[in-house]
Amino acid sequence: MQYFSLINFQYSLSAAILFCLFVLAWHVFANNQVAKKILEANAIRKTDIDSLRAANHKILNSGKGKKGEDAVYHAVLSIFQSLKIECISNRQLSCPHAILLPIGNDKYSKEIDLLIASEIGIFVIEVKDWRGIWAAKYDQPHLLSKVSNKSGINISDNSSQHPSNDRPAPLLKTQNKLYDLLNRTNLTNVHAEALVVFTDNEGNVDAQLPPNYLHISELTYYFRQQAAAFFDNTTYEGEGGYDAYDLAEQIQLCLDRSPNAMHNHMMRLSPSSDSVKTYQSNHRRLVELEAQPILIHQSDRPFGYWVFNMLFFTSLAAVGKALS
- Tens of pLDDT along 171-202? 999 999 999 999 999 998 999 999 999 998 88
Picking from 152-161, 255-264, 313-322, which range would have the lowest pLDDT averaged per residue?
Answer: 152-161
Q: How far is CA 120 from CA 31, 51, 318, in A?
A: 74, 46, 103
Structural domain count, the chain: 1
Q: Residue 312, exposed/middle/buried by CB under 10 A (0-12, 13-18, 19+)?
A: middle
Confidence of residue 101 (pLDDT cuts 50, 70, 90): confident
CA 287 centroid distance within chain? 14
What confidence score (pLDDT) does residue 223 get? 97
- pLDDT of 236 above 60: no
In this structure, is residue 83 part of a structural domain?
Answer: yes
In this structure, is residue 14 part of a structural domain?
Answer: no
Distance separating alpha carbons of residues 67 and 61, to the nearest angstrom: 10
Tell me which residue of 126, 109, 115 sits closest to 267, measured CA to CA.
Answer: 109
What confidence score (pLDDT) does residue 38 get? 87
Task: Tell me the average pLDDT across 194-217.
Answer: 90
Distance separating alpha carbons of residues 17 and 2, to the nearest angstrom: 22
In this structure, is residue 34 part of a structural domain?
Answer: no
Phi and psi dihedrals of 98, rounded to 5?
-75, 100
- Alpha-carbon Rg for the chain, nearest whole angstrom, is 36
How would you list the strands of the sheet with 213-215, edge to edge?
87-89, 114-118, 121-128, 192-198, 213-215
What confidence score (pLDDT) does residue 306 get? 54
Distance separating alpha carbons of residues 98 and 257, to the nearest angstrom: 8
Letter string b/e over residues 118-136, b meaning 16 or more CB atoms within 10 A of that residue's CB: bbbbbbbbbbbbbebbbbb
What confidence score (pLDDT) does residue 188 get? 87
In this structure, is residue 156 part of a structural domain?
Answer: yes
Is the model more confident about 157 or about 257?
A: 257
Q: Residue 240, exposed/middle/buried by CB under 10 A (0-12, 13-18, 19+)?
A: exposed
What confidence score (pLDDT) does residue 97 get? 84
Tell me which residue of 112, 82, 73 sits closest to 261, measured CA to CA.
Answer: 112
Task: Tell me the average pLDDT across 310-321.
Answer: 61
pTM: predicted TM-score of the whole model, two decimal places? 0.74
What confidence score (pLDDT) does residue 153 get? 47
- pLDDT of 144 above 50: yes
In this structure, is residue 38 part of a structural domain?
Answer: no
Picking from 112-121, 137-146, 151-160, which range would have the lowest pLDDT averaged per residue?
Answer: 151-160
Candidate ranges 7-21, 96-110, 289-303; pick with highest mean pLDDT: 96-110
Letter string b/e over residues 102-114, b meaning 16 or more CB atoms within 10 A of that residue's CB: eeeeeeebbbbbb
Q: What angle do CA 116, 121, 126 make, to 5 degrees?
A: 40
Tell me which residue of 52, 59, 54, 188 sits closest to 111, measured CA to CA.
Answer: 59
Tell me which residue of 14, 4, 10, 17 sits closest to 320, measured CA to CA.
Answer: 10
In this structure, is residue 182 part of a structural domain?
Answer: yes
What confidence score (pLDDT) does residue 50 get? 95
Residue 154 DSSP code: B
In this structure, is residue 300 part of a structural domain?
Answer: no
In the chain the beta strands, taken as DSSP E runs, fall at: 87-89, 98-99, 111-112, 114-118, 121-128, 132-136, 143-148, 166-168, 192-198, 203-205, 213-215
Sequence-distant (≥ 6) Cβ neighbours of residue 296 within 8 angstroms:
38
Q: Domain range for residue 164?
A: 62-279
- pLDDT of 237 above 50: no
What confidence score (pLDDT) does residue 17 get? 65
Q: Quick check: helix, strand or coil at residue 115?
A: strand
Is the model more confident about 5 or about 249?
A: 249
Distance separating alpha carbons of residues 130 and 132, to the nearest angstrom: 7
CA 184 centroid distance within chain? 27
What confidence score (pLDDT) does residue 202 get? 83
